Structure 1
């Protein structure tokens, strides 16, 4: 099995783990599924490092493992472990419709990337389509989920999708770019966790339908 086939299959697995992150009932379970997804992303980086002869991606894999597989899930799991609001379960669309939407998004993204004529992604267009679809699925999660914690996970899904896109198209970017991506995710998660806990302590809800006004 060639490296490109492995990468394309792992990219497809990322979409499945995204649906698990969104569909999980408990925030801690979503954290575990996000960690699993990030581990798949690390495997993609490691495979691309060998396939594209890009040692930079080996460093990306190590950084992603430390931040996305370990640090971010631990932060979110600790911050969200006691937050619960049954009224915020579910979303605007059902899980079945969400799965259908994910499939449609990937197909549409395939048509977007199909005209791309770059030698480095000639055999990796399925993975590139999935990376764009993954970003859009994270955005869909933010728009359709009523639970503010799920919206935080939606941001994380968007970030993983953009990270994969960058690895496929700009893996020779300076190490500073990778450091920026890693620290951006960590600080964003910390800020969202603090805000979610503050909202829950103040209003005793995680339902965005109840958050109709912002007060200073």
Structure 2
């Protein structure tokens, strides 16, 4: 008999891959780990569709594979090639890896506590994964705050978007494919705009260090 165990296991894998994205030493490796996380997201959609009987989620998984596993990482890797090696893309984060892991652990714990009080029939069996989805908003924000590299800050937005995707799939598995297409389209255009900004900043200032760009100069 199918249950939600696999869905919750895949939710745990999302947290692991999120940490890998944030802590990766290079932007290229972060993009590769993001593609891996997106593949886990696709598997989660398939598993959730099998349990709930939602054919919409199978369409979601196909769309997510095309946009998140292939297109978004491709855009980011293309941006890396355009920027080159002269703009400090691979700067280390402001926090040590241990501090990052501890901060994310606190965020996940707080989200588990918050989700435990939710009493919704659609979320009863997937509260661990729902907590993970909520935690991705905070993990994404953490990524944006602690990364010195503006390029790596893009992944914070991508993680937050993945969290919203998971939350919507858990709470509304019968939502039409058009909803998922709208979310994915917004994400792609946002990543394209951010990538263009990164290229312009790198070409103009020859650095992507957020600390160096914190002060506006006339």
Q: Larger deviation: 37-46 or 134-143?
A: 134-143
Q: Alpha carbons of 1:5 and 1:128: their partners in 2 closer, same or farther (altered >3 Å)?
A: same
The equivalent position to 2:177 in structure 1, one of 175, 178, 182, is: 175
Q: Alpha carbons of 1:214 and 1:59: their partners in 2 closer, same or farther (altered >3 Å)?
A: farther
Q: For the Cα contact (< 8 Å) 1:80–1:193, is it kept in 2? A: no
- Give the Å deviation of 1:87: 8.4
How many residues get paired? 216
Q: What is the alpha-carbon distance in structure 1 between the residues aligned to residue 40 and residue 26 of structure 2? A: 21
Q: Which residue of 2 aligns with 1:127?
A: 129
Instruction: Return 5+ residue gaps in structure 2 as ranges.
Output: none
Q: TM-score with structure 2 length normalisation? A: 0.93
Q: For the Cα contact (< 8 Å) 2:201–2:207, is it kept in 1? A: yes
- Give the Å deviation of 1:17: 0.7
Q: For the Cα contact (< 8 Å) 1:88–1:207, is it kept in 2? A: no
Residue 21 (str. 1) matches residue 60 (str. 2)? no
Q: What is the alpha-carbon distance in structure 2 between the residues aligned to residue 97 and residue 108 of structure 1? A: 17
Q: Larger deviation: 185-194 or 113-122?
A: 113-122
Instruction: Return 5+ residue gaps in structure 1 as ranges.
Output: none
Q: TM-score with structure 1 length normalisation? A: 0.94
The equivalent position to 1:107 in structure 2, one of 96, 106, 109, is: 109
Q: Larger deviation: 74-83 or 200-209?
A: 74-83
Q: For the Cα contact (< 8 Å) 2:88–2:207, is it kept in 1? A: no
RMSD of the TM alignment (CA)?
A: 1.8
- Give the Å deviation of 1:3: 3.7
Q: What is the alpha-carbon distance in structure 2 between the residues aligned to residue 74 and residue 128 of structure 1? A: 28
Q: For the Cα contact (< 8 Å) 1:88–1:206, is it kept in 2? A: no
Q: What is the alpha-carbon distance in structure 2 between the residues aligned to residue 25 and residue 8 of structure 1? A: 28
Q: Which residue of 2 aligns with 1:117?
A: 119
- Give the Å deviation of 1:176: 2.3
- Give the Å deviation of 1:175: 2.6
- Give the Å deviation of 1:150: 1.2
Q: Which residue of 1 aligns with 2:77?
A: 77
